[in-house]
Amino acid sequence: MDRIRISGGNRLRGIIPISGAKNAALPLMIASLLTSDTLTLENVPHLADVEGLMRILGNHGVDIAVNGRRERQEDGYSRTIHFTCRTIADTTAPYELVSKMRASFWVIGPLLAREGKARVSLPGGCAIGTRPVDLFLEGLQALGANIEIDGGYVNATAPSGGLVGAKYTFPKVSVGATHVMMMAATLAKGTTIIDNAAREPEVEDLANCLNAMGARITGAGTRTITVEGVTNLSGARHRVLPDRIETGTYAMAVAMTGGDVTLEGTSAALLENALDVLRQTGAEITATETGLRVVRNGHGIHPVDIVTEPFPGFPTDLQAQFMALMTRSSGVSHITETIFENRFMHVQELARLGARISLSGQMARVEGVQRLKGAPVMATDLRASVSLVIAGLAAEGETIVNRVYHLDRGFERLEEKLTRCGAVVERVSE
């Protein structure tokens, strides 16, 4: 099993290219199930989750060609990929595939809309909370679907004439359930109004792609999304938006080590809240023509309190990384996690490096320390893993991060990107 070895203490200087967003690429790939034409996606990150979803889509009958060639390109950079699903080969998404990744459950929306039925295993994904699927099921039921849960599978069936548009208000904001309801509603009869929708940029990206495929969606990016159903969707070409979580992660790494790094191919508008918080910690952040420049020279790290919230609030997917930064602040900060009830698994691992963190329910109290010291640590989930990398970059001596397969789900070429900026980071394969 691979590990990451970090020798801490170097400032980061240079340029980091930001990849396409994992959390946009996954629903966009799933949208290819809605049409028999080719959906071409540019800037698809090379990640374990993307590879896993390709296997799932292949099982449903999607033909996948990378850069026009059939063979997979293994150089590790973001790619252009063509997805063509002439006919749905199988409406079942099996446990063995779906249990590895939360987003794979989302195939339920397109399968139901196009084929009138879907049998999808209950999902897996990062172990950061119970992560139920009640909102997905209620949303699909509002469109007329009949839902039964049996043997760990959700069996969904559309009424004989297909799904029917409806008004539905989510009792709680869910990114995944918004994606699914929006995809399902594109082929439903009549108008669907989705209230209390997630406003994440990835929802807007999916809506833009669906509209390019012939859907009629307005309001994505606001609380209310309206979808006028159409009879069929066609192919399209769409570029995956930049990864705001990767952007924020590297910005926090620079704030942690000090230095001067330009993050290329990204946009401040995707993560204004997190960047404002970083500025309060003492980092200087400026927009450039092609991305962002993050600088921290000389000054200490100021403590800042944060509360995670749905977009446009502070993202839960940056909470662990921010906690790593706060371990070196000059005071006490409070970090409140409101999205997932079990997203503090990194706390005990950060403690191995010398961090002083205490937990009380949903809130972590982080007392900044003057120095962290390298140690072996264990990655417990995707963003927790990268928080350990950030801490390791600032720790004295050697940090070994075990179980890096979590990291490979969401960070393309992490070691290379950091090494090019002066960090000493290497992957050790055994």
Ligand X SMILES: C=C(OP(=O)(O)O)C(=O)O
Task: Indicate whether 321 belongs to the interface with ligand X (CB under 6 A).
Answer: no
* Binding map of ligand X across residues 373-412, x = CB under 6 A, - = no contact: ---------xx--------------------------x--
Please indicate if the annotation marks 134 as binding a ligand.
yes
**Residue 322 lies near ligand UD1 (rule: CB under 6 A):** no
Q: Where are the beta strands (DSSP E) in 46-197?
A: 63-66, 79-84, 92-93, 117-121, 146-150, 153-157, 167-169, 191-195
384 interacts with ligand UD1 by CB under 6 A: no
Whats the size of the chain, residue-wise? Answer: 430
* Of residues 10-39, those binding ligand UD1 (CB under 6 A): 23, 26
Q: Three-state SS for 157?
A: strand
**118 scored as a contact of ligand UD1 (CB under 6 A):** no
Smallest distance, Å, CB 154 to ligand UD1?
A: 11
**Burial of 89 from C-beta contacts in 10 A (0-12 / 13-18 / 19+):** exposed
Q: Which CB, 145 or 339, lies closer to ligand UD1? A: 339
Considering only residues 8, 27, 45, 125, which one is a binding residue for ligand X as defined by CB under 6 A? 125
Question: Residue 410 binds which one of ligand UD1, ligand X, none, with CB within 5 to 8 A depending on kind?
Answer: ligand X
Beta carbons of 195 and 223 less than 8 angstroms apart = yes
CB of 405 vs ligand UD1, minimal distance in Å: 17
Cα 169 to Cα 226: distance, rounded to the nearest angstrom: 12
Residue 248 interacting with ligand X (CB under 6 A): no
Q: Which residue is nearest to ligand X (CB)?
A: 125
Is 126 one of the binding residues for ligand X (CB under 6 A)?
yes
**Angle, vertex CA 111, rays to CA 107 and CA 114, nearest 5:** 140
**Distances 57 to 32, 81, 106, 177, 315 between C-alpha atoms, Å:** 9, 13, 11, 19, 28
Burial 39-65 (b: 16+ CB within 10 A, else e): bbbebbbbbbbbebbbebbbbbebebb
Interface mask toward ligand X for 30-59; x: CB under 6 A: ------------------------------
Distance CA(72)–CA(353), nearest Å, equals 39
Of residues 405, 337, 401, 325, the one with CA closest to residue 366: 325
Q: Which element (helix H / strand E) includes 236?
A: strand 236-239
| Window of 40-48, 98-106, 215-223, 353-361 that interacts with ligand X by CB under 6 A | 98-106
101 vs 388 by CB, closer to ligand X: 101
Which residue's CB is nearer to ligand X, number 37 or number 246?
246
Residue 304 marked in a binding site:
no
Q: Determine which residue in the list 4, 24, 50, 103 makes contact with ligand X, applying CB under 6 A.
A: 103
> With binding defined as CB under 6 A, does residue 192 bind ligand X?
no
Are the C-beta atoms of 5 and 415 separated by less than 8 Å?
Answer: no
Give the binding range for ligand X (CB under 6 A) out of 96-104, 144-152, 164-172, 248-256: 96-104
| Catalytic annotation present for 126 | yes
Please identify, using beta-carbon distances, which residue of 4 and 128 lies nearer to ligand X. Answer: 128
Token pair for 246: 């990767």
Question: What single-letter DSSP state applies at residue 304?
Answer: -
Give the CA radius of gyration of the chain. Answer: 21
Instruction: Scan residues 159-218 and list those touching ligand UD1 (CB under 6 A).
Output: 172, 174-177, 198
Give the separation between CA 80 and CA 76, rounded to whole angstroms: 12
Under the rule (CB under 6 A), what is the footprint of ligand UD1?
A: 23, 26, 102-103, 129, 131-136, 172, 174-177, 198, 316-317, 339-340
Q: Which residues are annotated as a binding site for UDP-N-acetyl-alpha-D-glucosamine?
A: 102, 131-135, 172-175, 317, 339
Q: Which residues are annotated as a binding site for phosphoenolpyruvate?
A: 22-23
Under the rule (CB under 6 A), what is the footprint of ligand X?
A: 23, 101-103, 125-126, 128, 317, 382-383, 410
Supply the residues annotated as catalytic. 126
